[in-house]
Amino acid sequence: MELSNRKALVLGAGRSGMASAKFLAERGSKVALYDRKSIESWSDEAKALKGSHGVGLVDGELPSWLLDQIDLVIISPGVPPNTIPARYVDRKDGEVIGEVELASRFLKGKIVGITGSNGKTTTTTLIGKILSDAGLKTQVGGNIGTPLLSLVESSVGDTWTVCELSSFQLETIVDFRPDVALCLNVTPNHLDRYEGFVEYAAAKRRIFMNQTQSDLAILNADDAVTAEWATQLATPVQLFSTKRELNDGCVLRGRELVSRKDGIEAVVTTRDEIFLLGLHNVENILAASAAAMACGVAIESIRRSVADFRGVEHRIEFTGEIAGIRFYNDSKATSVDATIKALEAMADGKGKTILILGGRGKQAPYAPLIPLIESNVRHLVVIGEDAGNIESQLSGVVSTTRADSFESSIRLAFEAAQDGDKVLLAPACASFDMFSGFEERGNRFKKHVAELKAAAAHG
């Protein structure tokens, strides 16, 4: 892809947009970086691109004279692909792609792509660890926090680039083709962005659209959506399951995680050797193991890496213990399904859970939480913009308190807990009503737990 003298518009001045603007400018494109927010509110790094790379900075409404000059639009994940500037340039035969698509045209080596409604970051991180531990040249990026464009220069012919991919990123791919592609599950999420679940699922499925017979698709046999895809894709399929036997694939059998291929079985690891909580993490490990084997990693090497893996920050992360009450940070649980998985992981027969729920809702129903709340939750603390909606949908299921601040939600949860209980932050909502992202929310949770612990220690 020739970039010199291209006239490019990058939509979105966040991490992905900055990486795109920098990449294009360094390769001779004339670049305008745009965001609806005023330039004064942009990060210092974004504003510095004007001086360091000659990038034009534009905010507010885009002038038509500028759009008339543009022949390439790069869309950041948070920007809908049907936004007016993208449609305008597309109609006049300009090229409209996302940062992932742009990066894929320059990355060397092979690609493992991971998508799904839940478990992406854990699985992506684990695959990266397994490949790296096995001595393969490995780099990890994408939706996990490192733009793929920033990995282009470090990629060579034998590099494995392991990338987490959101539905937003997959909306704007054209030729992107992972050698190994995984979809872990598809459950209702981001319904505030999509017309409905079918459209959201279709965005996830795009990860496989350019794969050929020389590639591999890895799918969850226990998920209704991905199981249906298994018979529809043009590429070979590898399944994984925690619920049933498979002729070929990775399965949970009793306490053993087993790989079966061409009639030959091997135990990859056992649940006793896994540090992570929850059956959903067994699914993640089965998927990661299937991917690693496809990349040529020996089972014994996979076993060692899995045993050493301690999980990812903000994913059912043990945060501390106060007076027999254990605190868990699952700020990444931004969907109802993710919260279900977190509650299932807490259901160990040792005490009840005090659940902190709420934030900016995604128009998904909370009713699927009711069975687990009835059986495992002692008390519910609701917060944020969607607190009233949560209360109305879960009314009468369990005693509930509405917190007037994030900090007070943690104190109220602690006060409602009994010896042996767990306090779980698994909000089932986005964080943007109070925080810049789930990371800030999780870090604030850990900070307030530490303060609560210090106060308890001093009586």
Mapped onto helix, strand or coil, the DSSP state of residue 400 is: strand
Burial of 367 (0-12, 13-18, 19+ CB in 10 A): exposed
Angstrom distances, CA of residue 245 to CA of 222, 239, 241, 252, 254 = 11, 10, 7, 8, 11
Domains of the chain: 7-99 (3.40.50.720), 107-308 (3.40.1190.10), 317-457 (3.90.190.20)
pLDDT digits (tens, 9 = 90+) for 101-160: 999 999 999 999 999 999 999 999 999 999 999 999 999 999 998 999 999 999 999 999
pTM of the model: 0.85
Over its C-alpha atoms, the chain yields an Rg (Å, rounded) of 23
pLDDT band at residue 204 under the 50/70/90 scheme: very high
- State the pLDDT at residue 459: 67
Average pLDDT over residues 55-64: 93
Mean residue pLDDT across the chain? 95
Q: What is the dihedral of CA 274, 371, 239, 305, to 10 degrees?
A: -10
DSSP assignment string, 20-84: HHHHHHHTT-EEEEEESS-GGGS-HHHHHHHHHH--EEEESSPPHHHHHH--EEEE-TTS-TT-H
